[in-house]
Amino acid sequence: MITLGKNIIVKNEIESTNNYAKQLVSDKPEEGTVVLAQFQRRGRGQQGKYWESEAGKNLLASLILYPGSLDAGNQFYLSKIVSLALVDLLEEEVMGVAIKWPNDIYVGDHKIAGILIENALKGAIIDFSIIGIGINLNQEKFYSDAPNPVSLKQITGKNYNVRLQLEAFLSCLENWYELLLKGETKKIDTAYLQRLYGYQEWRIYRFDDQENEGKIIGVGDFGQLQLELSGGKIREFMFKEIEFTTRGNSGS
């Protein structure tokens, strides 16, 4: 049985939990070591963006894993299991939780959590992975230009203990990580698609410098989004090649 979080390093203020965790890796800390921050000066998100969070309000953490049996070509499975663990955690409190490809967690049409995974490769295998997560727990006002953030407290009216939520997340992740290390990828694939935002729904997406109608039908082996277009053609998109619009179900 894998136990994550036996070693939790707590920092009051830090530039980025992912950056700090990467600095630790040279000393080979035990697998499952976590860096937990009360505040990040430059919390990192995808595509060069930053994660807005008031000090002490939200869960900001990075986890070190050594998934040595996982081929480099299968590294998107780490994103899948982290996403599924976040869904499991949040579904204890709210309904309508979904995974928005490639790395966000939504409640309805609002973003409540994000993921930043950085892998170091050694040949054809993954040497180590830094799993960064941010979950909006107790923040009630957001000031950045992010279009649609939401926190658990805004939805439920309750306050959440950051450390307890971290421990609950790690417990959820342990279950999915064990499945991955056992090679039970079909279970992961099925669960992921069942929770994928916009799956099998006709929606409006932006790519090729224009808006197009499409339906998500799957996710490829390398994490590429598979979209069926209105004319029946199938297209695949890697990160940054397609944009979700605010226009939802088109009624097709």
Query: Looking at this protein, which amino acid is placed at residue 115?
Result: I
Question: Helices in 110-158 by DSSP H: which ranges?
Answer: 152-156
Q: What is the pTM of this model?
A: 0.93
pLDDT of res. 247: 61
pLDDT of res. 251: 43
Is 126 in the same domain as 221? no
Phi, psi of 141, rounded to the nearest 5 degrees: -135, 140
Give the CATH number of the domain where residue 220 resides.
Answer: 2.30.30.100
Query: Domain limits at 209?
Result: 202-244
- Is 13 domain-assigned? yes
pLDDT of res. 226: 98
Three-class SS of residue 3? coil
pLDDT of res. 4: 97
pLDDT of res. 46: 47
User: Could you tell me the two tokens for 147?
Assistant: 């279009």
Phi, psi of 216, rounded to the nearest 5 degrees: -70, 125
Half-sphere exposure of 79 (CA within 13 A, CB side): 28
Task: Please write the tens of the pLDDT for every residue from 120-133.
Answer: 998 888 999 999 99
**Domain tally for the chain?**
2
Is 211 in the same domain as 146? no
Is 44 in the same domain as 154? yes
Q: Give the position of tokens 């995808």.
A: 46
- Is 2 domain-assigned? no
pLDDT of res. 50: 58
Task: Please write the tens of the pLDDT for every residue from 193-219.
Answer: 999 999 999 999 999 999 999 999 999
Cβ atoms of 204 and 247 closer than 8 Å = yes
pLDDT of res. 2: 82
User: Could you tell me the two tokens for 16?
Assistant: 């980025």
Is 72 in the same domain as 55? yes
Q: Taking the chain (252 residues) in consecutive chunks of 10 residues, what is each chunk's mean pLDDT?
A: 93 94 95 94 55 83 94 95 98 98 96 96 92 96 82 97 98 97 96 97 96 96 96 94 76 40
pLDDT of res. 110: 95
